[in-house]
Amino acid sequence: MYISPDQLRRLADFFPEDDLEWRIGSTTRDNKKGMALVYVTNRAIMARLDDVCGPGNWQNQYMSGPGGGVLCGLSILVDRGDPDRGGEWVTKWDGAENTDYEGVKGGLSGSMKRAAVQWGIGRYLYEMPQQWVELDDRKRMKRSPRVPANFLPQAAPRQQTPKKEKPSVQIGARIEDAMRAVGNGLGPNNETAAFHQWIDAQGFPSDAIAWGKKTLADSIADVLAPKG
């Protein structure tokens, strides 16, 4: 499945507060207050990519930076809008220094977060008003800031669990995506494998999984059947 421009725009959607983390940037001279900087967690970034692109349609790679640190290349299989060209892997790079606290692991995490911003993931956080918070004697925040309401997803109010669609609805939509890709010339074996990987990871009831796999197989067989 190739990722369309409309799907790519969904990468920039707001995140709920639980998907954000804070750290201290600049501090006052007496170290009693610090500027709170907000980031999207790596776990939330991966979940957003899985949700928008599908687990098999994005990937990342790492390499050493020219002056140290780590570079991350975040690639997405993008639909070029031309059936003859199909999809194309597009990679966007960014980097980060290794951190004092987590070393190389911190550099890997930071570089992926920055590469994700190149795709629009969490970029809106740069537009949030600056917040200064009180610090304890170890320069830690006494309490975490709150995200302004206009920077939160309207469909998922704070302290409420978003309502999920029924498995049949989610599976049906995924089958439509797979059949659209097959109709655009993508190999049915690839789409079947990607669909199986996705549905097996969703935690659906076994009968729903069996129904989804059979429905996709029947749909592909019908499309590929000789027309007489």
Cα–Cα distance for residue pair 195/179, rounded to 1 Å: 11
Answer whether 12's CB lies under 8 Å from 152's CB: no
The residues pairing with 88 across neighbouring beta strands, listed in sequence order, are: 78
Answer whether 125's CB lies under 8 Å from 44's CB: no
Residue at token pair 């890709």 = 181
CATH class of 5-151: alpha beta
**Which pLDDT tens digits describe the chain residue by residue (228 residues)?**
688 888 999 999 999 999 999 999 889 999 999 999 999 999 999 999 999 999 999 999 998 887 777 899 999 999 877 666 678 999 999 988 775 555 466 678 889 999 999 999 999 999 999 899 999 999 899 998 999 999 999 744 444 444 556 777 788 878 777 776 666 555 677 778 877 887 888 788 888 889 888 888 888 787 676 655
Three-class DSSP category at 92: strand
Q: What pLDDT is attached to residue 176?
A: 77
Domain ranges of the chain: 5-151, 167-224
**Integer Rg of the chain from CA:** 21
Answer whether 54's CB lies under 8 Å from 62's CB: no
- pTM, two decimals, is 0.63
Q: What pLDDT is attached to residue 85?
A: 67
Cα–Cα distance for residue pair 96/67, rounded to 1 Å: 10
Which is it for the CA torsion 151, 154, 160, 163, positive or negative? negative
For 141-149, which contacts have Cβ atoms below 8 Å and span 24 or more sequence positions? Answer: 141/22, 141/24, 141/34, 141/36, 144/22, 144/36, 145/22, 145/36, 145/38, 146/17, 147/17, 147/20, 147/38
Q: What stretches of 79-143 show up as alpha helix (H) in DSSP?
A: 103-118
Q: What pLDDT is attached to residue 33?
A: 93
Three-class DSSP category at 125: helix
Cα–Cα distance for residue pair 146/124, rounded to 1 Å: 15
